A = this chain, B = another copy of it.
Amino acid sequence: MTVTTDRCFPAACAQLGPIARDEPRSSAVARLCAMMQEAYERGARVVVFPELALTSFFPRWPLEGAALERWFETTMPNREVQPLFDLSRRLEMGFHLGYAEKTPEGRHFNTAIYVERGLILAKYRKIHLPGHREREDWRPFQHLEKRYFEKGDLGFPVFAGAGGRLGMCICNDRRWPETWRLLGLGGAEMVMLGYNTPQHYPPAPEHDHLQHFHNELSLMAGAYQNGLWVVAAAKAGHEEGCDLIGGSCIVAPTGEVVARTSTVTDEVITSCVDLDRCAEIRANIFDFAAHREPEDYGPICAPKG
């Protein structure tokens, strides 16, 4: 039996089934609260919710003006999300939540926050925005993240939380090894992320059957190559005509998947997370100080030509 300590505890990953276009935030928040409660009852101290977890995945639609702005949160917490913060305080839980953020200056980001006991401890804004800027009518659905969001301006913060050092990234970020390396160099011991990944990839449909494989490959490689835990939560299932993959999972610093959802609905999975196990990798095969050779890595950071 695993002993729960400050550094070794159950963590939960809360996958969301589809959110209908007309489903109010209050309904999504009620679903998230129910999963936080379940995670708590299963001993978890932290629960990870998906990207854009309060609404349907609106970048699939061409939108303008008020029809676009209504998908964004202008304050956090706000009245509709407050029950999640209240529950976090009452249960003494941490949670990771993705949502669309509009700043007081009118800037738009695809954002995630980490909250502990009702207090926001950290914020991340998505850096690797996928998709396209202009409407492309040949697509069965749009992916207008590059149009609707600005590139994140907060880097990849690593911060204290849950007895260790935590990091966040969002969806497409997980496919880029630079994301994981920056979090690893920052000392992250557990990375939390959410994703909305369609089963169908219009630019290369010959890879549709590989979506689960590519998701898990990216997560396993990021975990192993940086010796950190990964908790990755999907929005899954048939949402407004678009099939989203599930496959939410928890990955150990060895790269091993230690928990995985088996539905495309609201589903909580948990695994014991021992933050001290990061050292098995980082003090040995991937001892960065002993083995990295950054003087040879210049082109990785060179500006795009």
Contacts and interface: CB of A to CB of B under 8 A. Distances in A.
Interface stretch (A75-83, A188-196, A295-303): A295-303
Interface stretch (A102-110, A215-223, A232-240): A215-223
A289 interface: yes
A224 B268 CA distance: 29
Interface residues of A, number: 56
A202 to B, nearest CB: 9
Interface in A204-258: 204, 206-207, 210, 213-214, 217-218, 220-221, 224-225, 254-256
Interface string A109-133: 0000000000000000001111000
A300 B172 CA distance: 19
A220 B296 CA distance: 23
A280 to B, nearest CB: 5
B204 A296 contact: no
A141 to B, nearest CB: 16
Nearest to A152: B296
A65 interface: no
A182 B284 contact: no
A283 B201 CA distance: 13
A251 to B, nearest CB: 11
Interface string A138-161: 000000000000010001100000
Interface string A268-282: 000000000000110
- Interface SS of A by simple majority: helix
Interface in A151-200: 151, 155-156, 172, 175-178, 180-182, 185-186
A297 B300 contact: yes
A41 interface: no
Given A204-B284, A300-B178, A217 B224 contact: yes
B128 A293 contact: yes
A90 interface: no
Given A175-B285, A225-B177, A155 B296 contact: yes
Contacts of A70: none
A286 interface: yes
Contacts of A128: 291, 293
17 contacts: A128-B291, A128-B293, A175-B225, A176-B291, A177-B181, A177-B221, A178-B292, A178-B293, A182-B297, A203-B283, A203-B285, A207-B254, A210-B256, A217-B224, A221-B221, A294-B301, A300-B301
